[in-house]
Chain A
């Protein structure tokens, strides 16, 4: 039941403005491809492995092939036609053989014409469709396992992070966390992976403050959590990160390995990693199409704005970003039930009425997006090292989460910003969540903020500010707004940032069977 009495007309205006602001960016995303989108396409077509003899270390075969195609004939027509033409021309059995021959300098790529082009397009579509059918099978398998083992018994789902750097150690910690009550396990990535323009290969054991996202690491964690799911009698979901320069490829790998949720924000890479805005919007659209196909819940990153900007002054930028993320997601085919829009409990606890404001913001998100599995993020900015203060603050965060009906609760650690969590920190954090859920889980039934009270007024104010900001963004253009530092205070011009050289304007006759199959929803 709605508690804030939001004006449906204001809400409709907000959505219409978000759509208007996003439209030019979506046009740009449709008109361009990127090296990462092309690599993701070939990964769906079945290319795996890396060139272990390269002097720069293990270079994935898919990078070798896409780079070489680009050198020989450009990427403006897509990688599919030149690659599948070469495969036939040289009578090779697999893309991996083609990659090896490419590395040996035996292949000259060119854009085929006439019947050659038709044949190459058909072969590419067949290969990519095979990959997408694996994604489809994984989705069906998830549905079966959820039906058999069950979802968590209540909302919010409890989301815990592991981050050891070593996938084998991650598995141990994740299994313990799931046994102790975690419903969702997220493996944090190694620092710096965002800016790698390739996806590392194989099982990895030496990350920095996190574990590399690789196809093999995904497989290992999903397999381990399938075992634990049987043991605990509920389906334990696995989360990773489709962000950075390899967003589309990681989205494909997640679909191929049946991950269940992926961090995927439309602007995070631009703002917090200084990745080129066009690159990000193109990559984001493709990756979300893949997530939609895989039935993966995306988690957006609005919590990050509040760690740089002030959580009170910038509250409306979170709402604006949620509305933009929603629109981009819908456009890419994601339904509401896969939209884990993010927000966070980051108001300075020394600000008077901070908890009431948190409730207002959280309730606003809940009522603006009634069908989205909202992700509620714990305090980080005002965790000081005084673990006793931190434990109390996390308790209030948990309470705000249950009072406002949040869907996914990322468990806060009292040792945030002190150490990577001890075994006991996780245990105490889960005890905190359990206490609040048991003591106040149904308090929501009795929670009726006064119609003209502080909470309702604050929520209306934030929504109003969000509408004003959206109107300004429509006026000046989303890319210009990002360039001027509207979000998270970061200024990111459209032609700057990393990975800009990996953006290519599509030519007439651009062919990408993955995009076609995803847009059509076809399986062959």
Chain B
């Protein structure tokens, strides 16, 4: 692989790209000029506005081809690697079967006064989120969704009764840091009640930062836009590697 790259149209180094976009401007020569200018500023020069058509009276859609001047230095490319592989539902089911030889038990809830089950339902309900089915869909996961306004003692009791491998809590309301305090209360309660035998604790919500896991006392934090597949893949990864280090 070469270190310095430009996009490939039909000749090495030609830098050719295509893009499409809409501008809030009536269709006409001035609109095409505006599109060309935008493309130029994106580093495309020359930029060919190969197509434009009106969308209603106030908008114009463009297709632009052109050569970008930017050069990519592959040595300067850094990516944040997920610490676990993203698995398909089939792979997850197989991994659970192999590692646990029983179903993996997930207990989920919205804790405290928070009544917003949107997050936990998106992850757990079969309906799912972003085109992915929720955890209920996975044959080898047994999902117990306790719903909204579950108290911490209730959650601990139920997690113990169900022999939960993982507990998922969702927090949407952030007034007076309720999401942080609730989650800390939850993790403290599990530590006190179950010590090292506590289930894997996972917190999720649109205002959580994945870097907050330590502060919250949980194993993993998921932020906005997390899909069920990511959560399921994480659970399998965390529980199977946990098993490796602490033989049953």
Interface size class of chain A, counting residues whose CB lies under 8 Å from the partner chain: 20 to 34
Q: Is B147 an interface residue (CB 8 A)?
A: yes
Shortest beta-carbon distance, B204 to chain A, in Å?
Answer: 14
A308 touches B121 (CB 8 A): no
Shortest beta-carbon distance, A438 to chain B, in Å?
Answer: 17
A424 touches B131 (CB 8 A): no
- How many residues on B have C-beta within 8 angstroms of the other chain's C-beta atoms? 24
Shortest beta-carbon distance, B161 to chain A, in Å?
Answer: 17
Q: Is A383 an interface residue (CB 8 A)?
A: yes
**What 1/0 mask marks residues of chain B from 6 to 39 whose CB sits below 8 Å from any chain A CB?**
0000000000000011100000000000000000
**What 1/0 mask marks residues of chain B from 142 to 156 whose CB sits below 8 Å from any chain A CB?**
000101000000000
**What 1/0 mask marks residues of chain A from 310 to 321 whose CB sits below 8 Å from any chain B CB?**
000000000000
Which residue from A195, A307, A423 sits with its C-beta under 8 Å from B117? A195
Decide yes or no: A422 and B121 within 8 Å by CB, A271-B126, A498-B147 being known contacts: no
Q: Is B136 an interface residue (CB 8 A)?
A: yes
Which residue from B61, B115, B127, B130 sits with its C-beta under 8 Å from A427? B61
Q: Is B56 an interface residue (CB 8 A)?
A: yes
Which residue from B20, B22, B130, B137 sits with its C-beta under 8 Å from A308? B137
Residues of the B chain whose Cβ atoms lie less than 8 Å from the Cβ of A417: 130-131
A383 to B132, CA, bound (A): 12
Shortest beta-carbon distance, B90 to chain A, in Å?
Answer: 12
Q: Is B116 an interface residue (CB 8 A)?
A: yes
A180 touches B56 (CB 8 A): yes
A383 to B130, CA, bound (A): 11
B20 touches A424 (CB 8 A): yes
B22 touches A272 (CB 8 A): no
Residue of B nearest to A422 (CB): B22
B22 touches A424 (CB 8 A): yes
Residues of the B chain whose Cβ atoms lie less than 8 Å from the Cβ of A428: 61
B126 touches A488 (CB 8 A): yes
**What 1/0 mask marks residues of chain B from 122 to 140 whose CB sits below 8 Å from any chain A CB?**
1001110111010011000
B126 touches A176 (CB 8 A): no
A192 touches B117 (CB 8 A): yes
Q: Is B100 an interface residue (CB 8 A)?
A: no
A460 to B147, CA, bound (A): 44
A179 touches B126 (CB 8 A): no
A417 to B131, CA, bound (A): 6
Q: Is B59 an interface residue (CB 8 A)?
A: yes
A192 touches B22 (CB 8 A): no
Decide yes or no: A490 and B118 within 8 Å by CB, A417-B130, A424-B61, A427-B55 being known contacts: no
Interface secondary structure of B, over-half rule: mixed
Residue of A nearest to B54 (CB): A427
Residue of A nearest to B131 (CB): A417
Q: Is A273 an interface residue (CB 8 A)?
A: yes
Which residues in chain A, 175-217, are within 8 Å of chain B measured between CB atoms?
Answer: 176, 179-180, 190-192, 195, 208
Q: Is A274 an interface residue (CB 8 A)?
A: yes
**What 1/0 mask marks residues of chain A from 142 to 182 whose CB sits below 8 Å from any chain B CB?**
00000000000000000000000000000000001001100
B55 touches A424 (CB 8 A): yes
Residue of A nearest to B120 (CB): A192
A271 to B127, CA, bound (A): 9
Q: Is A416 an interface residue (CB 8 A)?
A: yes
Residues of the A chain whose Cβ atoms lie less than 8 Å from the Cβ of B127: 272-273
A383 to B147, CA, bound (A): 31
A307 to B133, CA, bound (A): 9
Q: Is A404 an interface residue (CB 8 A)?
A: no
B125 touches A272 (CB 8 A): yes
A190 to B121, CA, bound (A): 12
A490 touches B126 (CB 8 A): yes
B61 touches A195 (CB 8 A): no
Which residue from B59, B118, B145 sits with its C-beta under 8 Å from A192? B118
Shortest beta-carbon distance, B56 to chain A, in Å?
Answer: 6
**What 1/0 mask marks residues of chain B from 161 to 184 whose CB sits below 8 Å from any chain A CB?**
000000000000000000000000
Decide yes or no: A416 and B121 within 8 Å by CB, A423-B22, A423-B59 being known contacts: no
A416 touches B126 (CB 8 A): no
B126 touches A272 (CB 8 A): yes
Residues of the A chain whose Cβ atoms lie less than 8 Å from the Cβ of B118: 190-192, 208
Residues on B facing A (Cβ under 8 Å): 20-22, 55-56, 59, 61, 115-118, 121-122, 125-127, 129-131, 133, 136-137, 145, 147
**22 chain-A/chain-B pairs, Cβ below 8 angstroms:** A56-B115, A180-B56, A190-B118, A191-B118, A191-B121, A192-B118, A192-B121, A273-B125, A273-B127, A274-B126, A274-B145, A308-B126, A308-B133, A308-B137, A422-B22, A423-B22, A423-B55, A424-B55, A428-B61, A488-B126, A489-B137, A490-B136
Beyond A274-B126, A308-B133, A423-B59, 14 additional pairs, beta carbon < 8 A: A56-B115, A176-B56, A192-B117, A195-B121, A273-B127, A274-B145, A381-B131, A416-B131, A424-B20, A424-B22, A424-B61, A488-B126, A490-B136, A498-B147
Residues on A facing B (Cβ under 8 Å): 56, 176, 179-180, 190-192, 195, 208, 271-274, 307-308, 380-381, 383, 416-417, 422-424, 427-428, 488-490, 498
